[in-house]
Amino acid sequence: LTPTVVDRKFEAWLPNVNARIRFTPQFQARLAFTETQTRPNFTDLRASGTLDRPNDCLTETPRNANCFQTGNGGNPFLNPLTSRNYDAALEYYFSRNGFVSVSVFNRDLEGFIEGNVFQGQLPDGTPLRLFSPVNAGKGRIRGFEVQGSTFLDFIGLPQVGLQANVTNLDARSDFTYTDVQGNGSALTRVVNRELLGVSDWSYNLAAFYEANGLSTRLSYNWRSAFPLTYQRRGDHLYTEQADPVQRLDLSINYDVMPALTVFADWTNILGDPFSSTLTRQNTDNNALPAAGAFTATFPRVVRYEETTLTAGVRFRF
């Protein structure tokens, strides 16, 4: 075994500028520019890897050319994710406890961390396919959000409140695809595609009641489909995509006395399963889906997540 020692040092200047412009006591604008940096987590930085259980096809004679030993590992050479952030918002306060706002934003990214697949060989010549994190190229997230919040005192219900927001995101990044073919030549291609884990649309709705020590909140959230993984295997691109997700939660708190609170929480009331699909597409020489290529979609995961009901007492000294 050869030890791997990596020494990295990062320095950054991260400005943060905010401005507020008040047009009237009820109407104002906010502008912001910031730069941020996010370090990779320790799991992604580990200088080691693990091999999965050997595939049965590795013992076949002759060996299937599409059969590999698989494994996963870290990447100690990862750089931080950097982002230049631009935000603008208009806010209107129509009452003492109610407002609506519209905001737009843009994030210029570099170094978003995604998984990649590398092909090589074990010391005994067994073909290896290793999954490891890498820094993607330049990317961006842009979108808008509309939100509002108010108590219903204008219709005689000052204890009841509503909150709502809807968000649209367009998130893409350049991703470097690297593969090692049997002749040992390396192919590096840049592919622009959607960021993993980001939905185009999402919205949240909440209703709450607060009076006489009783506080209740019923919240609903929904997000559209979003990509989970991209994998290139030979001439095929495999994309796993999560189906739209929705969730409903309820929380109740009651202050029996200033230092004693009784609470109950009911989470995932709807109990909808999480599901995803796997799509296989033939690709061209740029690692992109080929024009008119055959596409096949299969169910990938159906996971039933628990609905929980908890109750308890909180005592403050």
Question: What letter would DSSP give residue 307?
Answer: P
Mean pLDDT computed over 260-274? 96
Mean pLDDT computed over 159-188? 74
pLDDT of residue 189: 65
Asked if the model's pLDDT at residue 18 lies above 80, the reply is yes
Neighbour-count burial for 80-92, b at 16+ CB within 10 Å, e otherwise: bbbbebeebbebe
Partners of 153 in the beta sheet? none
Q: Assess if residue 60 is contained within a domain.
A: no
Q: Assess if residue 308 is contained within a domain.
A: yes
CA–CA separation, 220 vs 207, rounded Å? 9
Higher pLDDT among residues 146 and 97, named by residue? 146
Range of the domain at 277: 16-42+79-315
Burial of 136 (0-12, 13-18, 19+ CB in 10 A): buried
Q: Where are the beta strands (DSSP E) in 14-97?
A: 16-22, 27-38, 49-51, 69-73, 81-95
Highest mean pLDDT among 108-117, 121-130, 268-277: 268-277
Query: For residue 124, what are the contacts with CB-CB under 8 A and spacing of at least 6?
Result: none
Query: For residue 315, what are the contacts with CB-CB under 8 A and spacing of at least 6?
Result: 259, 260, 261
pLDDT of residue 205: 98
pLDDT of residue 118: 74
Average model confidence (pLDDT) for the chain? 86
pLDDT of residue 185: 38
Does 62 sit behind a cis peptide bond, omega within 30 degrees of 0 on the bond before it?
Answer: yes
CB atoms within 10 A of CB 111: 20
Question: What letter would DSSP give residue 125?
Answer: S
Mean pLDDT computed over 251-258? 94
Mean pLDDT computed over 40-58? 78
Asked if the model's pLDDT at residue 174 lies above 50, the reply is yes
Q: Assess if residue 4 is contained within a domain.
A: no
pLDDT of residue 113: 83
* Total structural domains within the chain: 1
The answer to whether residues 198 and 189 touch, using CB atoms and an 8 Å cutoff, is: no
pLDDT of residue 43: 86
Q: In this structure, are strands 127-135 and 69-73 parallel, antiparallel, or unpaired? A: parallel
CATH of the domain at 279: 2.40.170.20
pLDDT digits (tens, 9 = 90+) for 144-156: 999 999 999 989 9
Q: Assess if residue 57 is contained within a domain.
A: no
Mean pLDDT computed over 49-74? 72
Please report which helix (H) or strand (E) contains residue 43, including its range: helix 42-45
Q: Assess if residue 22 is contained within a domain.
A: yes
Question: What letter would DSSP give residue 45?
Answer: H
pLDDT of residue 182: 37
Q: Assess if residue 187 is contained within a domain.
A: yes
pLDDT of residue 291: 62
